Structure 1
Amino acid sequence: MLVPAWQEKANAKVAETHSKIPKEWLISGLALEDAKSQRDITGPYVEQYLSAKEIEIIHNDSTTLVSKIKMREYTSLEVAKAYCHTAAVAHQINNCLHEIMFDLAFHTATYLDQYQKDTGRVKGPLHGLPVSLKDQFHVKGHDTSMGYVGWIGNFEGIDDPKKVHRVESQLVGELEGLGAVLFCKTSVPQTLLMGETVNNIIGSTMNPHNTLLSCGEGALLALRGSSVGLGTDIGSVRIPAAFCGAYALKPTSNRLSYRDMANSNPGEPSYPSSVGILSTSLDAIELLMKSILSTEPWLRDPKVAKMPWHDAQVASSLARAKADGSARMIHPLRIAFHWHDGMVKPHPPICRGLRMMRDALVASGHKVFDWDPPSHATTQRIHLSMLQTDGGHDIHKQLRLSGEPLIPRLRDVLAPKDPMSIVEYQDLVLEGRAFQEAYLDYLNCTGGANGQPVDAVVMPVAAHAAIIPGNYRHGAYTGTTNLLDYTCAVLPVTKADKSIDTFDEIYIPMTEADRINWQDYDPDIYDGAPVGLQIVGRKHEEEKILAITKIVDACLKARNGQSNGEAAFWKDFHAPPSDGG
């Protein structure tokens, strides 16, 4: 059969990426076939290809790695090699990388080690820390395909020698200046507008915890091939984190810089994507936020809000609980729970996760409430309309560069049509603004007798734990908070368990969409999939929401009999208790 030209180009890119893996890290064909037969490829499975020292290194969280490099327990180069090797294995057993930048990582790490040896100092607060990037960030010398075949070997589809492999995203420069080691770029969905990762270059990235399901760029974190990475969110920071058992923070848009980054439909101004952080630990997210904002990114990007990181806001929020998350009774947290959005009820594992979090907070002395805000059906409609204001013009322009087709799951929803008129667009913007105002009014009226509104809202990230390929149908749980532009964090709660999360045959669906979602649920297929939930705050509440997420995480761990590995954070940052508790 004749192979289409676009397919040849994609195949060549895959081969080029594979050629960047050192020969000693290649996995045999028989081993790759074995990986395809495994349901869970995390932990011991991926670690069988690593040395004992590499396993030790990748099981450190980001803040510990930075500390050990500073104390010279590890060199930057051996940390970089451990993560590059793990990422190489992860990619071979589960297509999860678009760009391999190991040579850059080794060069940077060697320089950092020499810098530390010569000066006795570290270069910055991220000295030696490997950081992965979603394939929207431009790194000099490397492609940014963003899942488009037509972007391979050029600059966003343009053969401009002044730009091809010469543009650097502002955030990339900030990370490098802080001492970070950039080593790979993770896979993305074609168009970015989908909750599972599949494109015409590398195919599908599956969920490492359960390879029957799909995921997002969180796959590399699940395989410990990265301890922290940067992504972007119209859902696509929170969704991969929740699906892959990771932590995440979606800041309000323009808290971090989007300058010189690739994006889908980049001219849409009213529904902005947000740069966010995914990690295996909450402390890593704070480390990156605090470090990046210390560079004053608003001086280089006119859209970034002039908002330094405020340690005092973190400390004042953390002071409302003890190290095990239990409330200091004069000022417990007030947390609302949004059980479902009235359109699609979450599957049993997500419902159980919500109950687990509620019970942990109640047992720890915090106050919980039900959340009944203005209908999210409004945002579901606005969300879908905002993503298609140009009628798919930008998407189909990129597809025509190579002649590649839309992947089957997107062909109907993203079929080209006439762009929205300016009058229709303005009406949509006004409708969105009215919803934002109504939502804020509702939030402000939740103060109760003491006049203190809820501190945060807990809600699902999606109606399911991960996703059966092709079955991501309902985006309102993330789309609503994108329209509101609220701060959101994600934390892992539990895993789906077929013996507990059983199918309720007498459930009566609320809507046709709910019926379809309910029929998608299969306890056997979902067994073992991570369950993550989002904690939502107001705009520009990154410090407060991160602290609240730490408290909730501690409550969950205390209730499950786990030790709180971040207790040292409380020791360092907690204000003295005012209630003697």
Structure 2
Amino acid sequence: MLPAGSSSAIHWRQIVSEKLRVDYAKIPRQWRLETHVIEKARTTKQIAGSFIEHLLDPETRNITSLDVQDLVAAMANGSLSAVKVVTAFCKRASYAHQLSNLLLEIGFDNALARAKELDDYFESNGKLFGPLHGIPVTLKDQFHVKGLETSMAFVSWIGTFEGKRGTGKERVFESELVRELWSLGAIPIGKAPETNNNILGYTRNPFNQGLSSGGSSGGEGVMQALKGSVFGIGTDIGGSVSMPAAYQGLFSIKPSSGRLSFKGVANTGPGQQVMPTVPGIMGHSIATLKLVFQSLLSTEPWLHDSHALPIPWRHEREYDPDSEQGYKPAFGFMSNDGVVTPHPPIARALRIVHEALDESGYQLLDWKPPSNNESEELHGPIARGDGCPDAYEAIKMSGEPIVPEIDDVFPGGKLMPPLPLPEYEKFVIHMKDFRNRYHDYWMSSAGKTHTGRPVEAVISPVTPYAAVIPGKFRYSAYTNSLNVLDYVSIVIPVTFANRDIDQVSHDYKPLTNEDRINMELYDAEAHDGAPAAVQIFGRRWTEERLLSMAHLVVDALERYAQRHGRMV
């Protein structure tokens, strides 16, 4: 591998070319797709589902159709081996990568070696190694995995440890959460990129390749949509797990800070701890999110990470209809935040959820909390108050161009000066006040519910978009407000955009000028086929309870679909 260096040493394109060559060599020859298949994928609107599945042999297709619980059960009864499971997902991940450029790091060899160790353990001990025994996982390329590099898609980080040489940590250092995954029996098979980067290019939506996969954990979102692993781990500071999950029709959970370990994870702005980046989980069911989250907590991360809260999984916080007889949870419902109206596919998804919950007998309260205008004012200065000099330095070190998605962070390609500390502290004080007022509003809902308790959770858009046309993303307050509040969020897929149904109403009146501009970005034809999702969010550190509430929503949607024949 050519070493990374300054633009005067080796041109960044040479470094990228060599990395891509080395990575491609890690794909077994029998898993390499023919050129005509890849070319066809480039011109096919949807490659998720039947397109990729038709490329697979029956055994690989069958194994990769199973969720975590079924795979673990099959390995527990001996009908599947860890080697078979990992082989199937590595093969499918290699296809997904060739179709969509999804893997910055490929770890198939190490994964298969670990699978063999787990099979030997099972044969010798007659039991599984852990609750995630033999389960293939992919992660956003911020997590350090032994045997693999971590570049975060910075060209200057290739061949280094977070941009530095000679640290002794290259390919041997491991993030705490990755250590926990290994200890649970999970097997990392590769790492996915930022949505747009100068190594792999732009990651498009596999349900409609004219649209974006969302960011910044977009590569992991597409890997999950193409089922190249059983679940994925991303990172989130403004919706970077929630948005890709929503745009790819996935379930996800963004926890509050401190519940999952972020120790030893590469990140920009690592000194910013007022509103920390958190790990998030993407998968194909609420059951998967719960199992992975609960399993990670079972490792007691607080014993290894001073920033992890000593809060184990709390069964008593889950909703149990048997022990809470006569109690029917109430939900808040936010059809819009008073600033920006969701596009027609998302508005329809919200109506479906509202009707499903209403038909199932749940009370829904209109939710009009402190304005997202405030959270928008707070999020940027707190998250990027330092001007992002580390990211700027990493980009300039290689000479690679700044991708369009962060042009606003570096206007004119220049580094912005940091906020003075007193000014930064004013934003923090405002954030604390915003959190307190939002908390007071939430608690006041007890006076409006039939139960006499505050609402358990709130239903809202994830973003205004059923995916987004590249270059036309404007509004993220539905998600970044939850980072400002440090609330828990779970994404639930509902339906798909339909050009024949999802039209802007003739009586639509913009809420604000921003709403008018944002609605003008909607194109029913361009968005056709994109997944449409909602999110359900709860107060800080309520992950157990919110997963129960999300399960109630999914059950209500299933009953709704049975009654009406389809999601309408």
Which bin holds the TM-score, normalised by the shorter protein? over 0.9
Quote the Cα distance in structure 1 between the aligned partners of 2:169 and 2:227: 33
Secondary structure of residue in 2 paired with 1:386? helix
Name 1:253's counterpart in structure 2.
Answer: 257
Aligned to 1:193: none
Decide whether the 8 Å contact of 2:134 with 2:185 is kept in 1. Answer: yes
Q: How big is the shift at 1:275?
A: 1.1
SS of aligned partner of 1:185: strand
User: Does the 8 Å contact 1:501/1:523 carry over to 2?
Assistant: yes
Report what 2:4 is aligned to.
none
Moved more, 403-412 or 65-74: 403-412
Cα drift, residue 54 of structure 1 = 0.8
Q: Which deviates more, 214-223 or 536-545?
A: 214-223
Counterpart position of 1:496: 497
Match of 1:163 among 160, 169, 177: 169
Please point out which of 214, 223, 227 is paired with 2:226. Answer: 223
CA contact (8 A) 2:381 2:424 kept: no
Q: Quick one: distance in 2 between partners of 1:527 and 1:268?
A: 39
SS at match of 1:285: helix
Task: Quote how far apart the aligned CAs of 1:504 are.
Answer: 3.4
Counterpart Cα distance in 1 of 2:210 and 2:43: 10
Question: Which residue of 1 is the match for residue 282 of structure 2?
Answer: 278
- TM-score after normalising by structure 2: 0.94
Q: What is the identity, as a one-letter code, of the residue corresponding to 1:441?
A: D
Match of 2:42 in 1: 36
User: Per the alignment, do residues 3 and 207 of structure 1 end up closer, same or farther by CA in structure 2, a change over 3 Å counting?
Assistant: farther
How far apart are 1:533 and its partner, in Å? 0.9
1:150 aligned residue (148, 156, 165): 156
Moved more, 370-379 or 42-51: 42-51
Q: Indicate whether 1:446 and 2:445 are aligned.
A: yes
1:120 and 2:126 matched? yes
Deviation at 1:412, TM superposition (A): 3.2
* Cα displacement (A) at 1:145: 0.9
The match for 2:5 is none
Q: Secondary structure in 2 aligned to 1:210?
A: coil
Tell me what 1:209 maps to: 207
The alignment partner of 2:129 has SS state of coil
Aligned partners of 1:218 and 1:278 also within 8 Å: yes
Matches within 5 A, 1:568-579: none
Equivalent residue number for residue 409 of structure 1: 405
What's the secondary structure of 2:308's corresponding residue?
Answer: coil
- What one-letter code is carried by the residue in structure 2 that aligns with 1:352? R
Aligned partners of 1:84 and 1:20: how far apart in 2?
11
Give the equivalent residue in structure 1 for 2:483. Answer: 482
State the alpha-carbon separation in 2 of the partners of residues 487 and 408 from structure 1: 30
Of 239, 245, 249, which aligns to 1:241? 245
Closer/same/farther in 2, CA of residues 447 and 146 from structure 1, 3 Å limit: same
Q: Aligned residue pairs: how many?
A: 546
Kindly state the Cα deviation for residue 4 of structure 1 after the two structures are TM-superposed.
7.7
Kindly provide the amino acid, as one letter, of the partner of residue 543 in structure 2. E
CA displacement, residues 82-117 of structure 1 (integer Å, 9 cap, x when unaligned): 100101001111112211110111011011001111
Structure 1 residue corresponding to 2:360, chosen from 355, 364, 370: 364
Which residue number corresponds to residue 113 of structure 2? 107
Q: Which residue of 2 aligns with 1:51?
A: 57
Aligned residue for 2:510, secondary structure, equals coil
- The answer to whether the Cα contact below 8 Å between 1:220 and 1:226 also exists between their aligned partners in 2 is yes
Please name the residue that 1:548 is paired with: 549
Q: 2:371 maps to what in 1?
A: 375
Aligned 8 A contact 2:321 2:327 in 1: no
Partners in 1 of 2:233 and 2:140 — Cα distance?
6
Q: CA deviation at 1:414?
A: 2.9
Shift of 1:229: 1.1
Instruction: Return the alpha-carbon distance in structure 2 between the equivalents of residues 250 and 126 of structure 1.
Output: 20
Other-structure match for 1:572: none
CA distance in 1, matches of 2:533, 2:513: 25
| 8 Å CA contact retained: 1:157, 1:401 | no
Task: Find 1:82's aligned residue among 71, 88, 91.
Answer: 88
Q: Is the 8 A contact 1:317 1:548 kept in 2?
A: no
The separation in 1 between residues aligned to 2:32 and 2:77, in whole angstroms, is: 32
Structure 2 spans left out of the alignment, 5+ residues: 1-7
CA distance in 1, matches of 2:233, 2:244: 12
**Residue type of the alignment partner of 1:34:** K
Identify the residue that residue 144 of structure 2 maps to in structure 1: 138
SS across alignment from 2:235: strand
- Give yes or no for the alignment of 1:344 onto 2:340: yes
Contact 1:253 1:273 in 2 (8 A): yes
Tell me the equivalent position of 1:324.
none
- Match of 1:438, as an amino acid? R
Take 1:169 and 1:540, find their aligned partners in 2: how far apart are those partners? Answer: 22
Contact (CA 8 Å) 2:460, 2:534: kept in 1 or not? yes
Q: Distance in 2 between matches of 1:417 and 1:319?
A: 56
Determine the structure 2 residue equivalent to 1:575: none
TM-score (norm 1): 0.91
Shift of 1:164: 1.3
Distance 1:531 1:384, change over 3 A: same
1:307 to 305, 308, 311: 311
Contact 1:318 1:548 survives alignment (8 Å): no
- SS of residue paired to 2:211: strand
Distance 1:422 1:107, change over 3 A: same
> SS in structure 1 opposite 2:384?
coil
Alignment of 1:232 with 2:235, yes or no, is: yes
> Where in structure 1 are there 5+ consecutive unaligned residues?
189-196, 321-327, 564-581
**Could you say what secondary structure the match of 2:210 adopts?**
strand
Q: After the TM superposition, which of the residue ranges 397-406 and 433-442 deviates more from structure 2?
A: 397-406
Q: Given residue 430 of structure 1, which amino acid in structure 2 is its aligned partner? A: I
For residue 91 of structure 1, what is the aligned residue in structure 2?
97
Q: Deviations over 1:215-239 (max 9, x none)?
A: 1121111111122111111211111
Q: What is the percent sequence identity of the aligned residues?
A: 40
C-alpha contact 2:387 2:409 (8 A) present in aligned 1? no
Q: Deviations over 1:148-181 (max 9, x none)?
A: 1111111110012411112100111111011111
- Alpha-carbon distance between aligned partners in 1 of 2:89 and 2:164, rounded to the nearest angstrom: 33
Whether the 8 Å contact between 1:317 and 1:547 is mirrored in structure 2 is: no
Provide the rounded CA distance (Å) in 2 between the counterparts of 1:113 and 1:356. 45
Q: What corresponds to 1:568 in structure 2?
A: none
Q: Deviations over 1:43-69 (max 9, x none)?
A: 121012211011111111111101111
3-state SS of paired residue (1:560): helix
- Residue type of the alignment partner of 1:97: L
Q: Distance in 1 between matches of 2:433 and 2:76?
A: 50
Q: Report the Cα offset of residue 506 of structure 1.
A: 5.1
1:19 to 1:317, Cα distance in 2 relative to 1, 3 A: farther
| Secondary structure class of the residue paired with 2:164 | coil
